[in-house]
Copies of this chain bind each other. A is one copy, B any other.
Amino acid sequence: METENKKILLVEDDPNFGTVLKDYLIMNDYDVVHAKNGMEGFEKFKKDDYDMCILDVMMPYKDGFTLAKEIRDKNEDVPIIFLTAKAMKEDVLKGYKVGADDYLNKPFDSEVLLMKIQAIMQRKSTESVADSKQFEFTIGGFHLNSKLRFLTYKDEEAIKLSPKENELLRLLALHLNDLMPRELALTKIWRDDNYFTSRSMDVYIAKLRKYLKKDINVEILNIHGEGFRLVVRSDES
């Protein structure tokens, strides 16, 4: 199943900063949903389960603390990190009363944020199951070992995959039979989303299709303008 990455709800009204931060977190293997204001943030929180919330405090209409209280009402445990514009002790305290796990003064070092996230995730999941990354997949008649970067078909000799081939196929496998958005692969694997990286990705899709030809029931479909879909048909014909 796709219990792969930790899911973070990022609520930040500054679109530039929010996007940069989102991409940075995605690059570091988190699934990020970005809400542009408190209202939207709460809606998105209700609609899904998150492993962590990162809330900007200074937001129009509904500030981060108010949002945090609403979130706490729904979920007592989800870790909350506040992003504050200045070092304000009162506000910080107010934040902790809501049950915040940490706070960060803007501007902050993104590495520090990452470390805080990791530390909190660790703390929260000390008793829960080890969150080991998923490295092995069965794709029709194929077996993908993503750690050792090879793909085997039945008893044939393993096909060695390049890092990009491997990551792309893994991402497709994580979304098996479902849409794997172009943008996701580009931000996670290429760490950049532009014309050339997109074309490069297409090249890799072609390479993967060549490998996957051996099993007639396995196919990578394109969803025009959206992304790709790795499908496995059950072979009754």
Contact of A229 among B109, B115, B148, B178 (CB under 8 A): B148
**What 0/1 pattern do residues 202 to 235 of A give for CB contact below 8 A with B?**
0000000000000000000001111001000000
User: Is the C-beta of A28 less than 8 angstroms from some C-beta in chain B?
Assistant: no
Q: State in angstroms the CA–CA spacing of A163 and B226 once bound together.
A: 9
Q: Is the beta-carbon distance between A179 and B147 smaller than 8 angstroms?
A: yes
Q: How many copies of this chain?
A: 2
Contact of A112 among B115, B148, B223 (CB under 8 A): B115
- Considering only residues 102-135 of chain A, those with a C-beta below 8 Å from chain B are 109, 111-112, 115-116, 118-119, 122
A residues apposed to B, CB below 8 Å: 109, 111-112, 115-116, 118-119, 122, 147-149, 162-163, 178-179, 223-226, 229
6 extra interchain contacts, Cβ-Cβ under 8 A, other than A115-B119, A148-B179, A163-B224?
A: A109-B112, A111-B112, A112-B112, A115-B115, A148-B178, A162-B224
